[in-house]
Amino acid sequence: MFEAELKGNNEIMLTGRFDASQVEKAKMVFDSVANSCEVDFTDLEYISSAGLSVLLVTQKRLSKSGNSLKLTNMNKHIRDVFRYAGFDTVFEIA
């Protein structure tokens, strides 16, 4: 199960497993974001390279207008995935 839920104007809550089968669902949520946004990973168990790609495309789009994604509450495994992929230098991770 996977959910990407927009809370207000500037927070997305991710829940479950974010893999290739969930990309379209996630894109619908991330494509609706126009300003800087916090992405809460508290309930995210897993992210694949397809999930990383959705986040990277969104980050690049937002950065063109001076905005960005801030990634919060990652578990150790997911934080390691970002570090190994070199994404810890692309995103603000809190």
CATH code of 10's domain:
3.30.750.24
Separation CA 28–CA 72 (nearest Å): 20
Separation CA 35–CA 18 (nearest Å): 22
Q: What is the pLDDT of residue 9?
A: 74
Q: What is the pLDDT of residue 8?
A: 82
Q: DSSP state, 28?
A: H
Per the structure, the complete domain to which residue 69 belongs is given by 2-93
Beta strands in 1-91 (DSSP E): 2-7, 11-18, 37-47, 69-72
Residue 71's nearest CA partner among 21, 36, 45 is 36
The number of domains in the chain is: 1
Mean pLDDT by 10 residues, the chain (94 residues): 91 97 96 96 97 98 97 97 94 95
